[in-house]
Amino acid sequence: MNKKILLTLFHDFIILISSFFLALWIRLDLNYVLDFFNTLWVFSLFFAFSNILLLKYFGLYKGIWRYASLHEIISIIKSVLISALLTLAVLFLILRLESIPRSFPVLLFIISIFGVTGPRIFYRILKDRLKIDTINKIPILVVGKSDLVENFIRMSKIEKNSPYNVIGIIGKSKEGIGRTIHSVPILSSIANLDNLEIYLDKLSINSNNQMPHRIIIADNNLSQLEIESLFVFSRKHGLAIGEVPRISDLKMSSNQNFHTKPIVIEDVLGRKQKVQNPKYLENIADKKVLITGGGGSIGSELCKQVNSLKPNSLAIIEQNEHNLYKVLQNDFKNVSPFLADIRDSQKIEDIIKQFKPDIIFHAAALKHITFVEDDPLEALKTNFLATVKLCEISKLHQIEKVIFISTDKAVNPTNIMGATKRLCEKYIQRISEKSKTFFSIVRFGNVLGSTGSVVPLFQKQINDGGPITITHPEVARYFMTIREAVELVLTSSQMLNDKNGEILILEMGKPVFIKDLAKRMIILSGKNISDINIKYTKLRKGEKINEELFFKEERPEKTTIDGILATNKKLFPADISDYNNLISQIQNNKIEQAMLLLKKLLPEYKIHDKTNH
């Protein structure tokens, strides 16, 4: 038997014996009570043992003191009342209640109640004011440390809008297995899910049993391995899985507060996500913010996070009407949507003159390597020329800050997408030298969940039974989540420094082999690696084996913000007349001359022969 249960039994036994003695002492002289107790000690044992048997019957010794609730208090009251009546009956049959004060049964009941419940009440008294009907609620298993789990269960029982019926607990450790919190059993620990598997098998035998539909993680301090283990288990057993980022989110201010966040694949990539300090973003409040490409993966998340910071107003520029419609489905305040092409410089200027933003986040770009590799002029027009015009307009109208979103593919670029982004970096560094507008460049790694990410592609291929297609067995990439990418952009807009045109990037640990990512996704899908074939094709035109975050000569330095690196090194500088010449060739659709000038401006570009396009 559990040591804590034995200690509880001993506590209750001593308290009940003492209560019997005290109930007599209150009414009789102490010396008389001591002599009288020599006769009555057997009855005190009967009272104590009968109480303990009844308390065990009511399930009290499976509960944890710290989470004692009204349910446990009622069980104690019933047990003490029945034991007191039984003891009174036995005293009447044997002693005819001779010398027993009439008030003794009442005193025995009161003292025993306070004695047994007192320590438990000291930890916690829960008053269940509402009886929530569990019909049509989603049966779930909740995961985490006892205190966090208890909060979740308590809120799910009290709040009217809770959609969940907690039927089991998966503990952080093996301690407490077999016991209960608010009458909900602790079934297993995260480290040993075999017990839970046995439990689910037993439930499935009887059709009347309620099977869990979902696992909810109430503890956001779980390790990556623990999350992965739960993810694999849930997929294996057909359970949905989600997490509650903060227990305060369960306070009911709307019907959506009990929605939990589904776990996506990036949560189990083996690297803790970088979280920026919110204090760096406070200055965005009350600012006028404009976001280009606001309907894309990064742009739409930027819109959501900027809106949450309560800006004075938010302007969204997007050329795709469907994407603009989707992003506007969010509950934005003071938003001005503009259906506009970033290449239409006259309209962009009209919007900026009308809206007068304090900060511009420039996310609009062509990003798919394959498409722009076959049509470099489009990439030059959208990625480079449109950026040039936006920078000129921003300087003309004295915009406070412009944040340009770049890519790690701009480092030693081998494709036209990376080359155009690198061209923008160099141009911005060039024009920012004597500019009143503050320019900042943010380099991204591969953003998981964005349009074109390998993760949704691999998920589809796994669901289709394979094969998973990878271009090369040694391909490795730096990965970051959309949240990390957007927080990096927002933080960079608020960094206090005097280095105009600085390049910032998030420290992302070691690059991940794509083949290892694929294998892990197979496992997370509840399958064996042998079930899904991995097929290696060949590197696409312009694709590299390994990406880089910085040029060797850039020598990145740490910033005042942990996890963000910066460089202000201007490599391979070019004259402004060369940029103007390239702009002229692009505007005149002269691709051959434009590509030659691109090569001249970017000696770091490992160019393929694109002059025949």
Nearest by Cα to 250 from 326, 157, 168, 175: 157
Q: Which is more confident, 136 or 468?
A: 468
- State the pLDDT at residue 260: 52
- State the pLDDT at residue 546: 85
Q: Which is more confident, 227 or 362?
A: 362
Region 357-375: what's the mean pLDDT? 89
**Which DSSP string corresponds to 62-128?**
GB-GGG--HHHHHHHHHHHHHHHHHHHHHHHHHHTTTT--TTHHHHHHHHHHHHHHHHHHHH-----
* DSSP collapsed to 3 states, 327-365: HCCCCCCCEEEEECCCCCHHHHHHHHHHHCCCEEEECCC
- State the pLDDT at residue 425: 93
- Give dist(CA 16, CA 111) in Å, integer: 9
User: Which stretches does DSSP call E strand in 200-332?
Assistant: 214-217, 240-243, 261-262, 288-292, 313-318
Name the band, by pLDDT with cuts 50, 70 and 90, for residue 452: low
The answer for residues whose C-beta is within 8 angstroms of residue 7's C-beta and 6 or more apart is none
- Give dist(CA 369, CA 383) in Å, integer: 12
Q: Which two tokens stand for residue 3?
A: 């040591």
- State the pLDDT at residue 463: 84
The yes-or-no verdict on residue 344 having pLDDT over 70 is: yes
Q: Which two tokens stand for residue 375?
A: 């049509």
Name the band, by pLDDT with cuts 50, 70 and 90, for residue 65: low
Pairing of strands 359-362, 288-292: parallel
- State the pLDDT at residue 582: 93
- State the pLDDT at residue 209: 60
The yes-or-no verdict on residue 382 having pLDDT over 80 is: yes
- Tens-digit pLDDT profile for residues 243-270: 775 544 444 444 444 445 554 555 555 5
**Is residue 541 helix, strand or coil?**
coil
Handedness of CA 547, 379, 488, 440 (dihedral sign): positive
Q: Which numeric CATH code is attached to 278-601? A: 3.40.50.720
Query: Are the beta carbons of 446 and 477 closer than 8 angstroms?
Result: yes
Fold of 138-263: Rossmann fold (3.40.50)
Nearest by Cα to 319 from 285, 336, 294, 356: 294
**Average pLDDT of the residues of the chain:** 80
Q: Please state, for a pLDDT cut of 70, what percent of the chain lies above it.
A: 84
Rg for the chain, CA atoms, rounded:
34
Residue span(s) of the chain under CATH 3.40.50.720 come to 138-263, 278-601
The yes-or-no verdict on residue 459 having pLDDT over 70 is: yes
- Tens-digit pLDDT profile for residues 194-236: 888 888 877 766 655 677 878 888 887 888 788 888 887 886 7
**Lowest-pLDDT choice from 73-77, 139-143, 352-356, 377-381:** 73-77
Region 532-548: what's the mean pLDDT? 86
Name the band, by pLDDT with cuts 50, 70 and 90, for residue 449: low
- State the pLDDT at residue 357: 94
- Give dist(CA 418, CA 461) in Å, integer: 27
- State the pLDDT at residue 258: 47
Element (H, E) at 514: helix 514-524
pTM score > 0.75 for this model? Answer: no
Q: Is the peptide bond before 337 cis (omega within 30 degrees of 0)?
A: no
Element (H, E) at 446: strand 446-448
- Give dist(CA 544, CA 539) in Å, integer: 7
- Tens-digit pLDDT profile for residues 473-508: 998 888 877 777 888 788 877 776 668 888 988 777
Active site residues: 409
Region 161-169: what's the mean pLDDT? 78
Highest mean pLDDT among 184-198, 353-367, 529-543: 353-367
Query: Are the beta carbons of 209 and 203 closer than 8 angstroms?
Result: yes
- Give dist(CA 496, CA 11) in Å, integer: 61
